[in-house]
Every structure is written in C-alpha cells, then in structure tokens.
Amino acid sequence: MSSKDQYKHEPSYEERRVTTGCCGCIWTPILTACGIFCCLIVIAIVILSVILGVNVNACGKLSQTVDINAVTPSVYTFDPNTFPNFNFISFNSILTKTGQIYVTQSNSTNDKNVTVSVRVAATKDETTSIKEENIDSTKKISLERADTFKGALAWIGYLSLPPRCILAKVEVVLPQTIPSVTTIDTDVNDIIFYANSVPYSSQINAKTVNGEIDVNNFAIGSLTLNTNNGGIKGSVSGIINELVATTDNGGIQLNVLVSSNATNPKIEITNSFSDIQLNFNSSFSGSYDVNTDFGNVNVVNPSSETINEDKKKSGKVGDKNGTLTVNTKNGNINITF
Ligand SMILES: *[C@@H]1O[C@H](CO)[C@@H](O)[C@H](O)[C@H]1NC(C)=O
Ligand SMILES: *[C@@H]1O[C@H](CO)[C@@H](O)[C@H](O)[C@H]1NC(C)=O
Ligand SMILES: *[C@@H]1O[C@H](CO)[C@@H](O)[C@H](O)[C@H]1NC(C)=O
Ligand SMILES: *[C@@H]1O[C@H](CO)[C@@H](O)[C@H](O)[C@H]1NC(C)=O
Ligand SMILES: *[C@@H]1O[C@H](CO)[C@@H](O)[C@H](O)[C@H]1NC(C)=O
C-alpha cells in the first residue's frame, strides 16, 4: 500500500448529506435567476417581434399609400465604358421596403450613356438623401438616412418606432451598345429586365441579395442572375455563350432561347431549396446533366439518355457542343427541350 492510499479519506454519510444539501442551497438561487433571465429574454423577444411586425406592416403599406410614380426622380447619367458596374444600395438606410430596379433599353441610337432615375418615398422623407459615388469602375448610388445606424448595425433600424421605411423605384435605361461586361448589383431590391428591341451580344451580370429577378423577353449573349433570397423567372433570348441563374432560396422558372449562332453555349442553373422549371423551345443543343437531392427530375424530348434515374438524368439533345447543368437540393426539376 502506498502512503497516498493509506491517507485516502472516504466521506462519511453525514458529510455527503451536507454536501448535497449545500449544492441545493447554491443551485436553487441559480435556477431562480436562470428562470427570471429566461423570462426576460422571452419578453424581450415578444416585444421585438411585435415592433418588427408593426414595422414590416407599415413598410409593406407604403407601396399602397404612396404613388411613387408621382415622385420627381433624381437622375444620374454616366458613360458605361467608364462605369460598367452599377451598384444601388439601400439597406444601410434602414428598413427599406424592398424596392425595384427596372432595366430597359433606350429606343434612341443617339443615347450612349446609361441613365438612372431614382424615385424614393419614405415615412419620414425629410431625412432621406441619395448619394452618388464613383469608386473605380463602379457608379454607386446609395439611399441614406441622416440619423440611423449604418453598416453592420443597420438591422437595428428594423426595430425603430415609429417605423422608418423607404420605398425605392430605380429605372436604369441602357444604351443600345453596352460594354462587353456590365454589372448591376444591389442589396434589398428586385431586378426586372424589360424586352430590348436591339439584342445585346455582350454580357450582363445582375445580382441582388434579397430580391427577385424577373426577365421579360430580354435578349442578351450572356447573362448571370444571382440572388440569395428570391425567385428568378421569365424569358431570356439570344444566349450565345453563357446563362447562369443561382438562388439559395426561391424557385427558378425560365424560358430560354439559345441563339442560333451559339456554338458552345453553357447553361448553369442552381437552386438550393426550390423547384426549377426550364423550357428551351427546341433551341438548346448539347449534353445535359440534371440532379436533385430530394425531388424528381423530369426531362421532356431528349435525343438520348445515358442516366435516367428519379433524381438524376443526363444525356444529349441535338448534336452540338452545349452543356446544361441543373442542380437543386430540395425540389423538382422539369426541363422541356
Ligand atoms: C455621358 O455622360 C458623361 C458624364 O456625365 C457626359 O460628360 C457626356 O457628355 C455624356 N455623353 C453623352 C453622349 O450624353
Ligand atoms: C421603347 O419603346 C417601347 C415600345 O414603344 C416602349 O415600351 C419602351 O418603354 C421604350 N423604352 C424607353 C426606354 O423609353
Ligand atoms: C417557349 O414556349 C412557351 C410555351 O410554348 C412560351 O410561353 C414561351 O414564351 C417560349 N419562350 C421563348 C423564349 O420563346
Ligand atoms: C448571328 O451572327 C450574325 C453575324 O455574326 C449576326 O448578324 C446575327 O444577328 C446573329 N444572330 C443572332 C440570333 O444572334
Ligand atoms: C464540337 O466539338 C468537337 C470536338 O470537341 C469539334 O470537332 C466540333 O467542331 C464542335 N462542334 C461545334 C458545333 O462547336
């Protein structure tokens, strides 16, 4: 036996009882404090939710109560060769009701510049201002409020009472000739493309964080559509090189016309959590590879199939070199060639 073992002291019943009892005296106030703390947190969450609800409701009503078309726009004009990137930011200005960016094409061959008209309506419009900045090749236009949190703390504005909402309507008129790559980038706004009478052969990249993207018969050589939170839908024509549509949260529904000039078109559609529907009206030619993790894949009119499973289909349509990849995690994919 070592000396350590010799002196090892087993606690008596009495000692154990006291220890447990003492644990009780320590734990009861801690649990009580925890309970009160939890209660306070729940109350705080309820209060914040009510405020948020009031705010979202007031901001949603803004588009019904204000005629934004009656607002005099602020107009900005710039050369797209100097500023191929257009950035419209409004989240910083607090509880911006998701506004819209409308993209159209000028009907005049004389127009060489981009024209951006910004209409803004707000619950307290005296504090709203529009800021224009040139950052390298980016024309940045931001909505600003004078007295609110900014940047990383902007979300606190969602909790302000009375509600502070801004509604934005932005019209972007593109000239008939644009740079080889043009970018339209925004944070909490929808982007809507209208039909252009002169098809573009260049590329447009459109990106929003929290908004939908609608494409109404827009004709463009390459198009990249990206939103984190919102659907993508409409008709795209004239695709020569590449069409990319990506969303994390929202359906994708597109009619796509690939240009007859396209030799090697690449089409990539990705959606994490919803359905994807693509119609090609016989215009796509090449191989396809379509996958979903949870859902069904349905491909109509392929020329040949190499894989034909519920969740994965691949094969060819026509005899050209195009590639089509379509992926979603949680939804059905329907494709008609
Ligand atoms: C285009 O915009 C720039 C900058 O605002 C201006 O200097 C130029 O005159 C405009 N060009 C045309 C053709 O309107
Ligand atoms: C160009 O003309 C079409 C058809 O008349 C019209 O719908 C569209 O609004 C016009 N575009 C612009 C930028 O004025
Ligand atoms: C493709 O066909 C559908 C239905 O037949 C039609 O609604 C759609 O406009 C067509 N899309 C294009 C890009 O022509
Ligand atoms: C195909 O290319 C020719 C010349 O390269 C052009 O004139 C024509 O507009 C293009 N057609 C389409 C549908 O893009
Ligand atoms: C497709 O690719 C093959 C070789 O990879 C090439 O010989 C052929 O010309 C291409 N066809 C088209 C239409 O690009």
Backbone angles phi, psi at 247, to 5 degrees: -145, 150
Domains of the chain by residue range: 20-169, 189-337
Which residue has better confidence, 10 or 314? 314
**Residue 218 neighbours by CB under 8 Å, 6+ apart:** 103, 193, 194, 195, 196, 234, 235, 236, 237
CA of 254 to the centre of ligand 2 (A): 23
**Residue 258 neighbours by CB under 8 Å, 6+ apart:** 239, 240, 265, 267, 280, 283, 284, 285, 322
Report pLDDT for 195. 97
**Nearest Cα residue to atom 11 of ligand 3:** 255
Q: How much of the chain exceeds pLDDT 70, in percent?
A: 86
Report pLDDT for 92. 59
Report pLDDT for 164. 74
Report pLDDT for 94. 53
Q: Is the CB of 249 under 6 A from ligand 1?
A: no
Both tokens of 191, joined, read 């982007």
Place of tokens 């510049």: 113
Q: Is the CB of 111 under 6 A from ligand 1?
A: no
Tell me the three state secondary structure of residue 184: strand
- Element housing 44 (H / E): helix 13-65
What's the pLDDT tens digit per position in 211-240?
999 999 999 999 999 999 999 999 999 999
Report pLDDT for 65. 83
Q: Is the CB of 238 under 6 A from ligand 4?
A: yes
Q: Is the CB of 77 under 6 A from ligand 1?
A: yes
DSSP calls for 264-331: S-EEEEEESSS-EEEE-TT---EEEEEEEEES-EEEES-SEEEEE-SSEEEEEESSS-EEEEEEEEES
Q: pLDDT band at residue 6, thresholds of 50, 70 and 90? A: very low
What residue type is assigned to position 260 of the chain?
S
Q: How much of the chain exceeds pLDDT 90, in percent?
A: 64
Q: Which of 78-92, 137-151, 283-297, 316-330 has the lowest mean pLDDT?
A: 137-151
Report pLDDT for 1. 42
Q: Is the pLDDT of residue 25 over 90?
A: no
Q: Which of 17-21, 133-137, 139-143 has the lowest mean pLDDT?
A: 17-21
CA of 197 to the centre of ligand 1 (A): 23
Q: Is the CB of 263 under 6 A from ligand 4?
A: no
CA of 169 to the centre of ligand 3 (A): 29
Which residue has better confidence, 336 or 24? 336
Residue 39 burial by CB count (10 A; 0-12/13-18/19+): exposed, middle or buried?
Answer: exposed
Both tokens of 101, joined, read 């960016």
| pTM for the model | 0.83
CA of 84 to the centre of ligand 1 (A): 14
What number does the ligand 4 atom closest to the CA of 260 have? 13
What's the pLDDT tens digit per position in 13-23?
555 554 455 55
Contact 254, 234 (CB under 8 A): yes
Contact 271, 247 (CB under 8 A): yes
CA of 86 to the centre of ligand 2 (A): 21
CA of 321 to the centre of ligand 5 (A): 6
Q: Which of 20-29, 96-105, 164-173, 263-272 has the lowest mean pLDDT?
A: 20-29
Q: Is the pLDDT of residue 140 over 80?
A: yes
Place of tokens 């980038």: 185
Q: Which of 83, 110, 112, 113 to mutate to test the pocket of ligand 1 (most atoms within 8 A of CB)?
A: 113
What number does the ligand 3 atom closest to the CA of 256 have? 13
Query: Strand 166-174 vs strand 333-336: parallel, antiparallel, or unpaired?
Result: unpaired
What number does the ligand 2 atom closest to the CA of 104 have? 13
What number does the ligand 4 atom closest to the CA of 221 have? 14
Place of tokens 């693509």: 278
Report pLDDT for 157. 67
For all residues of the chain together, what is the average pLDDT?
Answer: 88
Both tokens of 261, joined, read 């000039």
Roughly how many angstroms between the first and final C-alpha of the chain, as a whole number?
A: 86
Q: Please tell me what DSSP assigns to residue 59.
A: H
Q: Is the pLDDT of residue 77 over 70?
A: yes
